Amino acid sequence: MHDDPHHPPALGQQQKLSHYGDSGQASMVDVSAKQPTRRTATASAFVELSAAVIAAFPQNPKGDPLEVARFAGIQAAKRTSDLIPMCHPLPLTHVDVQARIEGNGVRITATAATFGVTGVEMEALTAASVAALTVYDMTKALDKAIVIRSVQLESKTGGKSGDYAREGGLA
């Protein structure tokens, strides 16, 4: 077994991907035998914007792009199992999404938590992704060259696989 949370084993070192049954068909993992634990995950995304787009934020006719993105990310985390076919619906105990101007764009950071039998990585990643897409939607009239970069898991806690923190990451 590989125990380094910063460098998970290569795919060939694992027995199999959990969402594939013995016949090779995709399936929802049965988590009914697992013990509930507190689980958290933080994900991030970066929306690269021009200086002109950032300068226009206060005059955006749709409202404050950062605040609308925060709300969209929170709503997205709650809808993850509706969007990602093999995700379990989870009773989220906390979701926090932050959007802030950083350098040449907007840094999105999303954290999700639950007390349950499966992790919240997908909820955090979905929140960060939808928040980033919302910034795009709120600013696309000004610039079509917007780029969403680096949607990634920053950290997670709890569960059988243990804790993880991206080396050099935000968490």
State the sign of the Cα–Cα–Cα–Cα dihedral 129, 130, 132, 136. Answer: positive
Q: Could you give the CA distance from residue 149 to residue 46 in angstroms, rounded to a whole number?
A: 5
Give the other-Cβ count within 10 Å of 135's Cβ.
Answer: 27
Q: 149 to each of 15, 108, 133, how far by Cα in Å?
A: 31, 11, 11
Low-confidence stretches of the chain (pLDDT < 50) are 1-6, 11-13, 20, 171
pLDDT of residue 76: 98
**SS3 (DSSP) at 124:** helix
Q: What type of residue sits at position 73?
A: G
Name the DSSP letter for residue 46.
E
Q: Could you give the CA distance from residue 157 to residue 129 in angstroms, rounded to a whole number?
A: 20
Q: 121 to each of 57, 143, 145, how far by Cα in Å?
A: 30, 31, 29
- Catalytic residue list: 137
Q: Could you give the CA distance from residue 42 to residue 20 in angstroms, rounded to a whole number?
A: 26
Mind listing the pLDDT tens digit for each residue in 4-39? 444 555 544 455 555 545 666 676 777 776 788 999
Q: Could you give the CA distance from residue 9 to residue 77 in angstroms, rounded to a whole number?
A: 28
Q: Tell me which residue of 59, 42, 41, 45 sits closest to 135, measured CA to CA.
A: 45
pLDDT of residue 2: 44
Mind listing the domains of the chain with CATH numbers? 39-161 (3.30.70.640)
pLDDT of residue 62: 86
